[in-house]
Chain A
């Protein structure tokens, strides 16, 4: 068995933290690519210095050169700008689309057999960019969203009930935005649905907090956004693919008719393994849940339309 290789594009907070989590969890060669050469190399070195104490091995490299991702099994695209004052949604979409496009073209060039995990925002739209630019099979491009949204939901439930995090499982479908669709009847504590353990108003409050989980952190940080939980979610996906874990979890996947949705990336339950998305699992949803998913899909579709307009213009 040869050693696995994982490349992380973008060595900002999310990318660097994801690199660190992956180093602690799995044995793989790690490469961080970023346009900021000094910072990237410094972070990689710092991680290596901690290795003897944290018990992981290198190599971990920081570079500006995409050629170094050659032969990667997984490429995680975290690069992108955070929204800055005065920048509108469309400006951000354009800027990040360019960044993700560059990362995806280079992935196709140097690591044509990789599975791509997209982390950059707006997530579902950036998945489209990565799929198009890479030309990869659809099961090899997967977006990180549902695992993050559900880990937040899981934490809120555990906190509310004063029970261990490990007892809680959750399912959050839809786009990675405030129209995401947390599913309380599929959110459980030791197998018991939370709808049996909490009043409806409490469930609604936790669902709402989940929808705004990212914004809540931005509200506290003022100048930055969350990175521990997003990086942990990305690392979980990397591990599932490298270890062929057959992890059943919600991820952004390209749908071709599943859930009545055509040609769109959106969060649905999938099985993640060696081959990327190995299966999309179609659940029977209630009418209300279906409506939520459709509304969320429309919001994503609008972003994709904006993207198309922009790409046609350039």
Chain B
């Protein structure tokens, strides 16, 4: 069985372990620096196994060395956003954490596929990819998939139908300026706009842009974690089971969609080696200009945070 190490035993990390166990995807090691905590959570998950019918191994550890030999490393160790806090302010703390984990991956699991869940996603996914010097296909950020599952849910609720057959594709940076491809929002292949109208669909998309904030405001002390964990789990499954799933993922672009040297969300085929293929699909003029605006914003944000200018 493949080994997945999740670094960060907070809500997102623990729930990702939970989803992986329920699906029987891989044996999981949950690593956190907080003494005892990942060990206790792992034990709790294992003790639920006889009732939930899973028998994957979940092990907790306080030692980063445990990630040696992992097939997939999930980085879920960032500090969460406080209400009202901007993504920008998170950057310094999270970049330091991610850098430390990246160094450990480089030393202990240099061939692993790395899945980053730490915000700001695109900037930190790029940081990890550069730090590892790894093949860009092996470093993935979870961004568009989260927005996608939110839109899928909102559309299904609007129509009063099951969400399973709903699709939605989001590209661009994982920011409010993400580019939602309207025509990709479909139900069993039928464009949602045909069923609920353009106007209502636009409202739903707008709701999805603010979904993270909505949950933060309601839950007060915690950010969303079920949907982010589910997004991570889908991505990890595609890698571990080599499914060739088509999913939106943040990956370093090398000329695709006219961008080079930045990580941003694109639709990709995901398998054992990470990103197998980036799908370059035709954008409408409006989508093309939204993409350019979002990329320009991302460049500005990176420059503000790191002092680095990307052409």
Contacts and interface: CB of A to CB of B under 8 A. Distances in A.
Interface of A: 55, 150, 162-164, 166-167, 169-171, 183, 186-193, 196-197, 240, 245-250, 269, 271, 281, 283-284
B186 interface: yes
The prevalent SS among residues of A at the interface is: mixed
Interface string B34-60: 000000000000000000010000000
Contact of A171 (B181, B189, B281): B189
Contact of B162 (A163, A164, A189, A245): A245
B246 interface: yes
B116 to A, nearest CB: 21
A163 B165 contact: no
B160 interface: yes
A1 B185 CA distance: 35
B247 interface: yes
Interface stretch (B81-89, B97-105, B211-219, B237-245): B237-245
B287 to A, nearest CB: 13
B144 to A, nearest CB: 11
Given A169-B165, A190-B246, A284-B194, A249 B188 contact: yes
A-B pairs, 10 with minimum CB distance: A191-B184, A190-B246, A191-B167, A186-B189, A167-B246, A164-B245, A164-B243, A191-B169, A171-B189, A246-B161
B159 interface: yes
B195 interface: yes
A167 B161 contact: no
Given A191-B167, A281-B195, A169 B160 contact: no
Interface string B194-219: 11000000000000000000000000
B186 A247 contact: no
B194 A169 contact: no
A250 B190 CA distance: 11
Contacts of B168: 191
A243 to B, nearest CB: 9
A82 B311 CA distance: 67
A113 to B, nearest CB: 23
21 contacts: A162-B244, A163-B245, A164-B245, A164-B246, A167-B245, A167-B247, A169-B165, A171-B189, A183-B189, A186-B191, A188-B184, A190-B267, A190-B279, A191-B184, A192-B184, A192-B246, A196-B282, A248-B161, A271-B161, A283-B194, A284-B194
B205 to A, nearest CB: 13
Given A186-B186, A269-B188, 8 more contacts: A164-B246, A167-B247, A169-B189, A171-B188, A171-B190, A191-B183, A191-B185, A281-B195
Contacts of B189: 169-171, 183, 186-188, 193
Contacts of B165: 169, 247-249
Nearest to B270: A164
Given A55-B53, A246-B162, A192 B188 contact: no
Nearest to B185: A191
Contacts of A171: 188-190
Interface in B115-172: 159-162, 164-165, 167-169
B188 to A, nearest CB: 5
Contacts of A189: 246
Interface in B219-254: 238, 243-248
B76 interface: no
A164 B238 contact: yes
B171 to A, nearest CB: 11
A247 B164 CA distance: 8
A167 B148 CA distance: 13
B109 interface: no
B305 interface: no
B169 to A, nearest CB: 4
B243 A191 contact: no
The winner among B168, B185, B246, B282 for most chain A CB atoms within 10 A is: B246
Nearest to A271: B161
The winner among A167, A250, A271 for most chain B CB atoms within 10 A is: A167
Nearest to B245: A164
B106 interface: no
B194 A269 contact: no
A169 B188 contact: yes
Given A247-B162, A283-B194, A192 B244 contact: no
Contacts of A249: 165, 188
A286 to B, nearest CB: 13
A67 B189 CA distance: 41
